[in-house]
């Protein structure tokens, strides 16, 4: 009976990912004594928050059997726009947020139109849109972005509140609850899973699959834009490579978290752990002096292995 119970729990990928997270923390503490220092872990959570927020949109697209490869450049463009509008002024913080949301809506509408109405594969459509966005912000900035974050945004995203918890972690917590409730407690969430499992069957059952597909790309782009806005508060200014790694990182966080890359299975609860795991891996590899290229190799290998595992599971 104990064996059967253990087997049942281990079949739940979201439980497994939290066990992996615990083991990773123990291993990090053994290899680097003091790693679990509260101040250091607060920094890990702060960094994981940005990835975790951006991964909400990626999670939705992957659950429907799609993918969003425009997230990285959407984040960067939003970062550039927000910094240039704010120019270090608190009074310009809201206009900057509204501007990046509008930009995100435009990107989402284009992605959604291409994927659903024009039937362009998500990989190609979002990669193409991301490349166009990159060209636009390079022309817009001429390679030298200007501006900096409002002091209020810096205090929210770059500093701890009450001595330990950063404001960005609290924002992530609120968005995480919304994402989990949306996926598991609403008709929209059930439709989203249904589309990911079998789009054609979902259409025959009366689900407006076009609306669902369109909406996930719209949500993903808006969340990516907001992530870029929040990142200005962490970095203090804009950088043209600030979002570069977020395509890989968000996909890795989602897949590590137990969401099948083929869609229809998983959820954001696992993605939370996936984002923290990715942040810890990146942080620990930095501590042991592994260069950025090496860290990207590790991330890529993890994604490939997990995609193979989930592909085999679906065949069974």
| Residue 72 pLDDT | 97
Selection from 66, 95, 61 nearest residue 218 by Cα: 61
Residue 311 has pLDDT above 70, yes or no: no
299 pLDDT above the threshold of 70: yes
Q: At the topology level of CATH, where does 16-21+38-315 sit?
A: ABC transporter involved in vitamin B12 uptake, BtuC (1.10.3470)
Residue 13 has pLDDT above 70, yes or no: no
CA distances from 103 to 75, 193, 224, 280 (A): 10, 28, 10, 31
pLDDT at 10 over 60: no
Q: Tell me: pLDDT of 104 over 90.
A: yes
**To the nearest whole percent, how much of the chain has pLDDT over 70?**
91
State residue 161's pLDDT score.
59
Q: At what angle do helices 246-256 and 38-63 cross, to 10 degrees?
A: 90
pLDDT at 239 over 80: yes
Q: What is the pLDDT of residue 9?
A: 44
How many Cβ atoms sit within 10 Å of the Cβ of residue 289? 7
Q: Residue 105 pLDDT more than 50? A: yes
Average per-residue pLDDT in the chain?
A: 89
Q: What is the DSSP letter of 261?
A: T
């Amino acid at each position: 009976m104990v064996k059967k119970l253990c087997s049942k729990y281990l079949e739940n990928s979201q439980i497994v990912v939290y066990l992996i997270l615990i083991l990773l923390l123990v291993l990090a503490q053994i290899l680097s004594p003091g790693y679990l220092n509260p101040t250091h872990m607060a920094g890990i959570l702060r960094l994981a928050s940005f990835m975790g927020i951006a991964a909400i949109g990626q999670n939705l697209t992957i659950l429907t059997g799609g993918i969003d490869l425009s997230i990285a450049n959407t984040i960067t463009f939003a970062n550039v726009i927000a910094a240039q509008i704010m120019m270090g002024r608190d009074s310009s913080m809201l206009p900057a947020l509204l501007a990046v949301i509008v930009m995100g809506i435009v990107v989402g509408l284009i992605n959604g139109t291409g994927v659903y109405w024009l039937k362009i594969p998500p990989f190609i459509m979002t990669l193409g849109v991301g490349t166009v966005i990159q060209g636009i912000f390079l022309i817009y900035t001429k390679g030298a972005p200007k501006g900096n974050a409002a002091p209020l945004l810096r205090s929210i995203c770059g500093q701890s509140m009450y001595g330990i918890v950063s404001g960005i972690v609290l924002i992530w917590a609120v968005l995480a609850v919304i994402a989990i409730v949306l996926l598991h407690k609403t008709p929209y969430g059930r439709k989203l899973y249904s589309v990911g499992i079998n789009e054609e069957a979902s259409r025959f059952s009366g689900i407006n699959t076009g609306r669902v597909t369109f909406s996930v790309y719209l949500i993903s782009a808006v969340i990516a834009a907001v992530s870029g806005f929040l990142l200005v508060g962490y970095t203090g200014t804009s950088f043209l490579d600030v979002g570069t790694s977020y395509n890989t990182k968000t996909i890795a966080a989602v897949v590590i978290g137990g969401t099948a890359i083929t869609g229809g299975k998983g959820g954001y609860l696992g993605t939370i752990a996936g984002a923290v795991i990715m942040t810890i891996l990146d942080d620990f590899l930095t501590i042991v002096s592994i260069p950025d290229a090496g860290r990207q190799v590790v991330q890529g290998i993890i994604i490939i292995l997990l995609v193979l595992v989930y592909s085999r599971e679906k065949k069974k």
